[in-house]
Structure 1
Amino acid sequence: MNFEAIKAIYYYEMARTRRTLLQSVISPVMSTALYFIVFGAAVGPRMQEIEGVSYGGFITPGLIMLTLITQCISNGSSGIYFPKFTGTIYEILSAPVAMAEILIGYVGAAATKGMMIGLIILATAAFFVDLRIDHPLMMFFFMLLTSITFSMAGFIIGIWAKNFEQLSMVPMLVVPPLTFLGGTFYSVSVLPPFWQTVSHFNPVLYLVSGFRWSFFEVSDVHPLISLGMIGLFLAICLGFLTFVFRTGYKLRP
């Protein structure tokens, strides 16, 4: 394992975050903070508690997960797309660096950025809503596993995308609807039976539900099932990336 190559890619990507601090960190944190102000501090006190949890606290895990997924996909996709766009990817591919080392460097940096933003948002939420974390280790594990998985998904999107429109399509058009329909602002138990069944086909439901359980021991799905679904998605991403590495799909002419 070439750790120097991994470190070089990782540090380069983290340095890019420092150069775009306003866009990479401050903007998503401020956008999510507005949700806490509106739904947590303003609307929350007028809403009924959900399974003994204040409304502001109930939506906090979902909002963190929304930002975490979006940022990991965006960082993971842009990290590999821009070297493809500028042509510098060929310098990396011609260097004595294995594909697995390239993956670890890019995905590790994207996951680190996502974790940083998620933890900053969690700290910010404490100023606006009443929070408790019943299982902090599980909360951190859910965040870490989700960050790695969706950074890999973003890496796949960056390899697949031919232009900037395709690059932003999934983070902007696919992830937000799935997250909002995955129990971010409500418990799916309040839905009619038919829509409860439909909701269980939404993969984001399992992420939000498991992450919420680590805070309040309240969930729509058993936390072990949530972990299993994340593990399944991770396995799918690894399987596709194995195919990419073996065939050079959209990486080599």
Structure 2
Amino acid sequence: MNVHGMAAIYRFEMARAGRTLWQSLVTPVITTALYFVVFGAAIGRHMADMDGVSFGSFIVPGLTLLSVFMQSIFNASFGIYFPKFVSTIYELLSAPISSLETVIAYVGAAVSKSIILALVTLATATLFVHVRVEHPLLMVLFLVLITTGFCLMGFVIGIWAGNFEQLQIIPMLIITPLTFLGGAFYSVSALAEPFRTITLFNPVVYLISGFRWTFYGVADVPVWASLAVMIAIIAVCLAVTGWMFRTGYRLKQ
């Protein structure tokens, strides 16, 4: 395994995050903090508890993942798209580093940035609402699996995208609506039929529910189902990424 090559890519991606700190960390945290102020501190005091948890605290996991989803995709997609844009992708493809090592380096850097963002966001949330974590180790596991899955998804989008506009199509038009409809601000059990059943077809529901369970011990779906969905997302994205490297899809154009 080419450890030096992987480390070089990883350091380059982390250094890029440092140069764009305002965009990659400060702006998402400020945006999420505004959500906490409006929904948690202001509106939350007038809302009923959700599954025995105050509304302001209940939405913390969902708002954290809302930010993590978007930044995971953007970080990973831009990381692989920019070499294509400036035509340095051929240097990467001809370097003595395998496709698996390339994916590990790029996705590993994106995962690191997303985890940092999530932890900073959670720390910010404690300034506005009460947050407790009943299962801290499982919370970290869920966070790593979720960020890995969405960073792999972003990596696939970065290879597929033909321009900067296409980098934003899936995150803005698909992921964001699914997140808002996936229980980020409410409990799925509060929905009436048939909307409750329809909502269960949204994979984001399982991610938010499982992540929220690690905080407060309440979940809309079984925890094993949340783990299964996360593993499935990772497996599908790995399979697609492998196919893209094997066929050279939009990498050698």
Normalising by structure 2, what TM-score?
A: 0.99
Structure 1 residue 249, shift from structure 2 partner: 1.1
Instruction: Name 1:187's counterpart in structure 2.
Output: 187
- Counting only pairs closer than 5 Å after superposition, residues 71-150 of structure 1 correspond to structure 2 as 71-150=71-150
Instruction: Name 1:249's counterpart in structure 2.
Output: 249
Instruction: Name 1:27's counterpart in structure 2.
Output: 27
Instruction: Name 1:9's counterpart in structure 2.
Output: 9
Measured against aligned partners, the alpha-carbon deviations of 1:66-114 in whole angstroms (never above 9, x if no partner) come to: 1111110010100000000000111111111111111111000111110
Cα distance in 2 for partners of 1:223, 1:109 equals 28
Cα distance in 2 for partners of 1:239, 1:104 equals 14
- Counting only pairs closer than 5 Å after superposition, residues 157-168 of structure 1 correspond to structure 2 as 157-168=157-168
Instruction: Name 1:52's counterpart in structure 2.
Output: 52
Unaligned runs of 5+ in 2: none
Structure 1 residue 177, shift from structure 2 partner: 0.4
SS of the aligned residue for 2:194 comes to: helix
Instruction: Name 1:178's counterpart in structure 2.
Output: 178
In terms of mean alpha carbon deviation, does 20-29 or 240-249 score higher? 240-249
Letter in 2 for 1:35: Y
Cα distance in 2 for partners of 1:223, 1:180 equals 20
SS of the aligned residue for 2:8 comes to: helix
Q: What fraction of aligned residue pairs are identical, expressed as a percent?
A: 53
SS of the aligned residue for 1:134 comes to: coil
Instruction: Name 2:37's counterpart in structure 1.
Output: 37
Measured against aligned partners, the alpha-carbon deviations of 1:5-55 in whole angstroms (never above 9, x if no partner) come to: 000000000000110111111000000000011111111111111111000
SS of the aligned residue for 1:157 comes to: helix
Instruction: Name 1:238's counterpart in structure 2.
Output: 238
Cα distance in 2 for partners of 1:51, 1:192 equals 16
SS of the aligned residue for 1:193 comes to: coil
Structure 1 residue 175, shift from structure 2 partner: 1.1
Cα distance in 2 for partners of 1:233, 1:19 equals 30
Cα distance in 2 for partners of 1:173, 1:39 equals 23
Measured against aligned partners, the alpha-carbon deviations of 1:168-195 in whole angstroms (never above 9, x if no partner) come to: 1112221110000000110111111111
Structure 1 residue 62, shift from structure 2 partner: 0.3
Cα distance in 2 for partners of 1:133, 1:64 equals 14
Cα distance in 2 for partners of 1:41, 1:187 equals 19
Letter in 1 for 2:198: V
Structure 1 residue 245, shift from structure 2 partner: 1.9
Letter in 2 for 1:64: T
SS of the aligned residue for 1:87 comes to: coil
Normalising by structure 1, what TM-score?
A: 0.99
Q: CA RMSD in A?
A: 0.7
SS of the aligned residue for 2:184 comes to: coil
SS of the aligned residue for 2:201 comes to: coil
Cα distance in 1 for partners of 2:100, 2:172 equals 28
Structure 1 residue 207, shift from structure 2 partner: 0.4
Letter in 1 for 2:166: Q
Cα distance in 2 for partners of 1:189, 1:49 equals 13
The number of aligned residues is 253
